[in-house]
Amino acid sequence: MNLNAISIKNLLRRKGKAAFVLAGLVIGVSTVVGIISYVEAMTNDINHKLEKYGANILIVPKTENLALSYGGLSLGGVSFEMEEIRQKDLEQIGTIKNSANIAALGPLVLGVAPVGQQKVLMAGVDFQAARILKPWWKLQQGELPGADGIILGTEAARVLNLEVGSRLSINDNDMVVSGILQPTGSQDDQLAFTRLATAQLIFDKQGQVSMAEVAALCKDCPIEAMVKQISDALPGAKVMAIQQVVKSRMETLAQFKKFSYGVSSVILLIGSLVVLVTMMGSVRERTDEIGIFRAIGFRKRHVMKIIFTEAAIVSGLAGIIGYFLGFGATKAALALFSENHSGLVPFSIELAGGAVITALVVGLIASSYPAFMAARLDPNEALRAL
């Protein structure tokens, strides 16, 4: 028989009350774990998408011309004089400090190609880099082009009335349509694509590129610093980060995080009040018993230890149950509402440890006043027998 045995026996006797305290803390802890896991999953999801999808730094020649297009409507077409970047200069990008963060570099040569009575904007691209820069590209028909091949966006194929295998002549170069892209919902639907070298040959722009796309954005990439580094490396080019969407999503997520933590704090506070009220009730019910403990020579700290041990057992258990409940609930919620991203909620030993520690801290703090009250009980008053 020791103090721990007294605590355990009391918990077993008052299962209902213990279960009530447990439930209060489990709800609090599981909600916090659920919210944190959900936010973590969302962050992972965004980072995953950012890493997976597309270019986010554009390198274009410095120009004195203003854009003559707005909202997809072009007033000036592409008839104005285009500046070019030397392809060799792009190699400088590999020397920047954060070059390791660059996933892909895609040079692009643009030119207007006459096809019958129509004109089409033709882009020469590096199809190897395009796999990373434009992962949403899917061929509806055909295959990637060879040296004399082109692929067409769906709109371009429709307007030009071309299909896979169609032959055409562009600036006296015989070309064959090797594939047609699935609709992308972007400007790519209206373009014809060929190999970079082929386009340079057709438009007589050997060693030059019209622009370049860089895929670099990942969660730890210092995008603005990278833009600066590339600008320094390519003084004749204008370097822009496409981060508006990313920033907005990150800001929304940050606001959601703040809101979630606020809600979690309130729930934890309510949980701690449940513990406080229940433990106070328990102490009042046990006045007689505590009086006996004090009368037979228990010190105040012995009484407090009994109360704290009970609180610690229930809180620790609540932390463990709360973590798994919150973890499971997040997985279930993501599976139900978010295109099966449940794999993005990994088991986190830090979060599990944090949940147990939070539950313990909340349980012990909420029990400190009842424990203090119990220890202060005057044995003579408590017993009213002597």
Cβ closer to another protein: 216 or 375? 375
Residue 35 C-beta: closest distance to another protein, Å: 38
Site for another protein in 232-291 (CB under 8 A): 288-289, 291
Q: Of 3-11, 53-61, 271-279, 337-345, which part binds another protein (CB under 8 A)?
A: 3-11
Q: Of 119-127, 177-185, 237-245, 377-385, which part binds another protein (CB under 8 A)?
A: 377-385
- CA end-to-end span of the chain: 26
Contact between 12 and another protein (CB under 8 A)?
yes
Contact between 386 and another protein (CB under 8 A)?
yes
Partners of 114 in the β-ladder: 119
Cβ closer to another protein: 131 or 299? 299
Residue 9 C-beta: closest distance to another protein, Å: 5
Place of tokens 């030397």: 86
Residue 291 C-beta: closest distance to another protein, Å: 8
Cβ closer to another protein: 303 or 344? 303
Residue 377 C-beta: closest distance to another protein, Å: 11
Q: Please identify which residue in 112, 273, 357, 385 interacts with another protein, judged by CB under 8 A.
A: 385
Cβ closer to another protein: 88 or 299? 299
Cβ closer to another protein: 253 or 292? 292
Say how many residues touch another protein, by CB under 8 A.
28
Site for another protein in 280-309 (CB under 8 A): 288-289, 291-300, 302
Say how far apart CA 350 and CA 358 lie, in whole Å: 12
Partners of 170 in the β-ladder: 173
β-pair type (85-86, 208-209): antiparallel
Residue 304 C-beta: closest distance to another protein, Å: 12
Cβ closer to another protein: 134 or 294? 294
Contact between 10 and another protein (CB under 8 A)?
yes
Cβ closer to another protein: 177 or 279? 279
Site for another protein in 162-191 (CB under 8 A): none
Q: Please identify which residue in 54, 316, 354, 379 interacts with another protein, judged by CB under 8 A.
A: 379
Closest residue by Cα to residue 111 from 127, 97, 123: 123
Cβ closer to another protein: 167 or 376? 376
Closest residue by Cα to residue 3 from 312, 381, 364, 378: 312
Contact between 2 and another protein (CB under 8 A)?
yes
Residues near another protein, by CB under 8 A: 1-3, 5-6, 9-10, 12-13, 288-289, 291-300, 302, 378-380, 383, 385-386
